Amino acid sequence: MARSPKALKAKLDAICARFRGVMGYSLYHTRLNHRIDHRGDEIFPTASTIKVAVMAKAMEEIDSGRLSYTEKLPITPDDIRDGSGLLQFFKENQSVEVRMLLHLMITVSDNTATIMLARRLGTVEVNRYLERLGLRHTKVYTKDAEDTRWTPDNEGEVAICEAARTVWRFYHPRDPWRPPKGAEKFSSGYGGA
- What CATH number is attached to the domain comprising 130? 3.40.710.10
Domain count, the chain: 1
Q: What is the mean pLDDT of the chain?
A: 81
Return the pLDDT at 17. Answer: 96
Say how far apart CA 184 and CA 179 lie, in whole Å: 9
Residue 78 lies in a domain: yes
**Residue 32 placed within a domain:** no
165 is a domain residue: no
Higher pLDDT, 85 or 101: 101
**pLDDT digits over 46-70, tens only?**
778 888 889 989 999 999 999 999 9
CA 190 – CA 19 distance, rounded (Å): 39
**Paired strand residues for 151:** 154
Domain contains 64: yes
pLDDT band at 186 (very low <50, low <70, confident <90, very high): very low
Judge whether residue 170 has pLDDT over 50: yes
Return the closest-CA partner of residue 178 out of 43, 60, 30, 55.
Answer: 60
Give domain status of residue 168, yes or no.
no
Give the count of beta carbons closer than 10 Å to the beta carbon of residue 113: 31
Q: In what order do the strands lie in the sheet with 139-140?
A: 43-45, 156-159, 139-140
Provide the CA 32 distance to its chain's centre, in angstroms. Answer: 27
What does the pLDDT look like over 4-45, one tens digit per residue? Answer: 889 999 999 999 999 999 999 988 877 777 889 999 888 888
pLDDT tens sequence across 135-144? 888 888 766 5
Residue 184 has pLDDT above 70, yes or no: no
Q: Which residues contact 86 (CB under 8 A, 6 or more apart)?
A: 104, 108, 110
Secondary structure percentages of the chain, helix, strand, coil, to 5: 40, 15, 45
**Which strand (E) or helix (H) includes residue 125?**
helix 123-132
150 in a structural domain? yes
Residue range 108-114: average pLDDT?
91
Which segments of 41-172 are extended strands (E)?
Answer: 43-45, 72-74, 95-97, 139-140, 156-159
Given its phi and psi angles, is residue 134 left (phi above 0), alpha (psi -120 to 50 degrees) or beta? left
Query: Does any domain span residue 25?
Result: no
In this prediction, residue 174 carries a pLDDT of 57
Is residue 26 in a domain? no
Using the predicted structure, report yes or no on whether residue 80 has a pLDDT greater than 70.
yes
List the domain range (segments joined by +) for residue 111.
46-156
pLDDT category at 192 given cuts 50, 70, 90 is very low
Predicted local distance difference test score (pLDDT) of residue 187: 47
